[in-house]
Structure formats: C-alpha cells, structure tokens
Chain A
Amino acid sequence: MSEQQFTRSDLTRILLEGAGAEEGVDLNGDILDADFEELGYESLALLETGGRIEREYGISLDDTALTDVHTPRQLIELVNGQLLAAA
C-alpha cells in the first residue's frame, strides 16, 4: 500500500522549480483557493507543473482534468486522487 501524499509544500516546490513565482506573490501565503491566473500562472505554467508532478510521482494526469483545475487546492486534490487510485 502506498503512503504517498501530495502536500501543499510539494506543490509550492514544484511550482517554483518549473515556473518560478510572480513578483509580489508569496506562495507560502493564503493561496490555496486563489485562482492560478491571479497567482500569475497561465496554462503553459500549469502544463509544465503537471508534467513535473507526473514524472516525480509516477502518475498520469488527464489533460482535461488538468484544464479544469483552477486553484492550488483543486490541483492537490486531483493529484492525491490519482495517487490513491494508483495505490
């Protein structure tokens, strides 16, 4: 059984590695329910982030599911759902 969990700090780390952070945006702040676009991440940044998560966790994220994700909380839930399904 897998105990792997995808946490907020995992997401922050991967976002920073793959896409950096917009000036004036603190990823350690109150961002879980903020829209990715407000945080300065356009669709390409999310594609890059999704690709990095897939590689690191050995899961596959559906393209449509990724497009439907608008906030960090939703992305974390999507990834954990996939991790659970893969367990």
Chain B
Amino acid sequence: MTSSVVVTGLGVASPNGLGTKDYWDATLGGRSGIGRISRFDPSQYPAKLAGEVSGFAAAEHLPSRLLPQTDRMTRLALVATDWALADAGVDPEQLPAYDMGVVTASSAGGFEFGQGELKKLWSMGASHVSAYQSFAWFYAVNSGQISIRNGMKGPSGVVVADQAGGLDAIAQARRLIRKGTPLIVSGGIDATVCPWGWVAQLAGGRLSTSEQPERAYVPFDAEAAGHVPGEGGAILILEDAAAARARGARVYGEIAGYGSTFDPKPGSGRESGLRRAIELALSDAQVTPSQVDVVFADAAAVPELDRIEAAALNAVFGPRGVPVTAPKTMTGRLSSGGAPLDLAAALLAIGDGVIPPTTNVAPDEGYELDLVTGRPRPAAVRVALVVARGEGGFNSAVVVRAAD
C-alpha cells in the first residue's frame, strides 16, 4: 500500500491573474491575458501575440540580493512559492531542512537573462558577462533558488519535457514523498517572452500568426491554426496525506494517478501514446472512465494534434462522454508552467463545484467532444484528469481526486 499524496498550497502567476484568487476570478469570468506583446517590439516577427504576466514588480517581493542573479521566470517562481507556502500554512524555517525538497519543471531555462548576457558578450566583450550567467540560465535554476531561499535540503531536481514536464515533475514529487520526504515544492513557471525565446518558439512551427487575440488560439475549432505562447504557471505544495492531516492542513485534493508515454516514430503509422498515458493514469488512480468528471485538455490547436487528442479522449470516454475544457485559451500555452496551472484549476474546480470555460472556441463538431465553452458549467467535480503533451513526443496525464 503506497501512501497518498495531497496538494495543500497553490501559488499562481498567470497572464490572466497574479495570485490564485485573481487567476480563478478571471478564469471563471472568461477574462483573457492574451494580447500584443509589450515586453519587446514584435512587429518584425510573424507571431505578435502572447500571454504576458502583468503587474509583477519583483523588487516588491524579493530582496535586492536576488535580483542581479535571476531571470524573470525564477523571480516569478520564487514569489509563487512564497504564496504557495503561505497558502499551505507552512513556514519552512520551522521544519527540518531534509524533510523538504523541490522538483520543478522547465522547458527553456532563463532565456531573457541569457539573451542579455549574450548581447553584452558580443557588443562589449567577455569581461562584461555576469558571473551569474553560470547558473541563471540553467533549467534547474528555479528548483535551486527555491531550495536555497527556503532552506530545503531534501531530494530535489528538475524535469524537462516541454508542456508534459509540468506533470512529470508532479509525479516525481509524488515518488519522493512516497520514499519518505514529507513535503515537496513542485510545479513549474516558464517565461521566455523575449526575442531570443521568441525565435526559438517560432522555430517550433506551431505558433499562431493571427493578430486577433480572440481568434489566435482556438483549439478544437475548425479555424485552429496554432497556439499563442504565454509566461507563468503554478507552484504546488505536495505533502504526504497523513502528515498533512496530522498538522490539520487544508487539502485541495489528492494526486491520485499518473501515466506517461512516448510517441512512436513519426511516419510509423502507429497510434500516438496519448490514449495509453490517459489509461495508465486512470489505472494508477484506480478510477474508471465513468468516474472522471472533467478533462483539462492539452489543447494544442494544431488540427492534426487536436484530432489525436480528441481520438484518444473518445477512445477512453466515448464520444462526448466527459466534459472537456481548456482554460488555457485565456493564458496561452505556458510551456512547463501550463500543466501545473491546469492542475491548480482542476483542484479549484473540485473545491468550487464548477468547470471553468474554454473561451473563444466554436467547437468543430467533428471532434465529438463535450467542450465546455463560453461560461463556467456548474458540476460536482470529484475526479479530474489533466492531459499535457510536449513537443517531440511526450504524453503525460495526471488524475486529481477530491480529498475524503
């Protein structure tokens, strides 16, 4: 019998809301954070829209000692962690250092920081490059900085698998708790809305070039033509259920199941691994498809990928067999931060008995999905499935369940 792992704290930094309450209010209200890029002039690039986190002033939240050594994504992650710990009622100074670890997901590292240092290297010379470039760009830097700031010396690490990594990190956190570490900070925050990050995203070939914020990212719509990237994500505090109960913690829900697969070689003609990842997660959680109350879709908005996802969901749940939603239509796809934010939304949906909407989408009936569009749908949510795919063939799925 393996012990169960629960979520006791949330910290959110999303394009449509800073902090859990702002995010959830905006999400239920259908308010989007997608707009024309303001952090640099996008006019020379084919894609000009992004989901930017606005109103974040790092110096208001972090000591000046941390500012010269951190990328924007790390600052957002440190502050989201502070919020998540406060939300969980955890003061890390009061806990043994080795009882706490950190496992975040990353997809790009500190791109904007690296861009600044590369610029100095080529325009002013090597002596102008910051000593902090040594780690500020690095994939593992959010885990490292969270660990140092909060004195967390337990097992830690980083998982890199694009959007799917956000769920893989949660699964790794659950493994570490089951091996004996009572508390793990997990989730992911990414932020690469800078020219260097932008050209890297453009090279992936999946960005929408629409300039209309309401039409640019419309998964499962006949007009779907790529996605809008965004920045931000969510940090979650995961704890051993018994330990959380013992300290009287408020519990959002349980990380009940996880599955992960890799796609076959492109062109092989074999089925994507997505369906199998979903089935593995359900089986791990010991729930049947009929017990799932809502699916938070990956929602790639690339027609071929939407078809694959709809086919996988319909194979498991039957056509229109389960409510499906994609509140990420209000934030854009947040790389490794996207799935943790969906997990936060799923847990809030369980708490409030409501499914947040997919915005701007007129569902293509050919997908045969029961897509929750337009406005929130009241529903008793006890079990939610979150699906995430990473570019290159990664498929992951997590089942969350209401705490008993």
Query: CB < 8 Å: which of A18, A22, A44, A45 contacts B63?
Result: A22
Give B65's nearest chain A residue, CB to CB: A20
- A17 to B66 Cα, complex, angstroms: 11
The 8 A-B residue pairs with the shortest CB-CB distance, nearest first, are A20-B64, A48-B131, A20-B65, A47-B131, A23-B63, A22-B65, A44-B131, A21-B64
Report the count of interface residues on A (CB-CB < 8 A).
Answer: 16
Q: Which residues of A contact B132 (CB under 8 A)?
A: 44, 48
- A44 to B145 Cα, complex, angstroms: 14
Report the count of interface residues on B (CB-CB < 8 A).
Answer: 13
Task: Apart from A21-B63, A21-B64, A55-B127, list 9 A-B contacts with CB within 8 A.
Answer: A18-B130, A19-B65, A19-B68, A19-B69, A20-B67, A20-B68, A51-B131, A54-B127, A55-B128
Q: Say yes or no for B94: interface residue by CB 8 A criterion.
A: no
Contact with A along B50-72 (1 / 0, CB 8 A): 00000000000001111111000
Give B133's nearest chain A residue, CB to CB: A48
Given the interface pairs A54-B127, A55-B127, A55-B128, the reply to whether A44 lies near B134 with Cβ below 8 Å is yes
- A17 to B64 Cα, complex, angstroms: 9
- A16 to B131 Cα, complex, angstroms: 15
Give B124's nearest chain A residue, CB to CB: A55
- A48 to B129 Cα, complex, angstroms: 9
- B130 near A48 with CB under 8 A, answer yes
- B63 near A48 with CB under 8 A, answer no
Measured CB to CB, the closest approach of chain A to B134, in angstroms, equals 7
Query: CB < 8 Å: which of A17, A23, A55 contacts B68?
Result: A17
- A18 to B130 Cα, complex, angstroms: 8
Give B126's nearest chain A residue, CB to CB: A51
Q: Say yes or no for A81: interface residue by CB 8 A criterion.
A: no
Give B70's nearest chain A residue, CB to CB: A20
- A45 to B64 Cα, complex, angstroms: 13
- B131 near A20 with CB under 8 A, answer no
Most A CB within 10 A of own CB, among B63, B131, B134: B131
- A21 to B66 Cα, complex, angstroms: 8
- A77 to B107 Cα, complex, angstroms: 45
Q: Which residues of A contact B65 (CB under 8 A)?
A: 19-23, 40
CB proximity to B under 8 Å, residues A1-51: 16-23, 40, 44-45, 47-48, 51
Measured CB to CB, the closest approach of chain A to B148, in angstroms, equals 10
Q: Which residues of A contact B131 (CB under 8 A)?
A: 44-45, 47-48, 51
- A20 near B66 with CB under 8 A, answer yes
